[in-house]
Structure 1
């Protein structure tokens, strides 16, 4: 069965407002019960891929990577120095 463009766009708009999680996919299935899981998963995946393609360059600018690194360094460690050394060297 062919999916009407209007319904595709409605699903895509809903997906755009959701975080990319399994729970979101379940919510989509409840909201659009007439669509198969594979159809919803396909739309979900396509829209997420579009988001990644749109924002990839922004997150890989030298200024952005430096900001992410500084934020990482400023966070308190969640493991002991001994555990940290283990993860670094093994």
Structure 2
């Protein structure tokens, strides 16, 4: 894998309260065995921004960090940007 380019994770559709563990497990599988690098989480195709989305994104960021990677969000709409700012995750926005 080319480590000069960040790994891109696409998150789309509607995210519910029970989706975070599966998203995190998928991220763990993708990052297994990789050297620490930046991960870009593209959230441009997400459905409605709500607390379930914020929870899932926060958990993804924690999962990446636990594995030695940084995770940043790109493509967030205004509503999601405001929610991420409210919980202190706006520093992770691209």
Common topology (TM > 0.5): no
Larger-gyration structure (1/2): 1
TM-score normalised by length of structure 1: 0.33
TM-score normalised by length of structure 2: 0.32
The structure where strand makes up a greater share of residues is 2
The structure where helix makes up a greater share of residues is 1
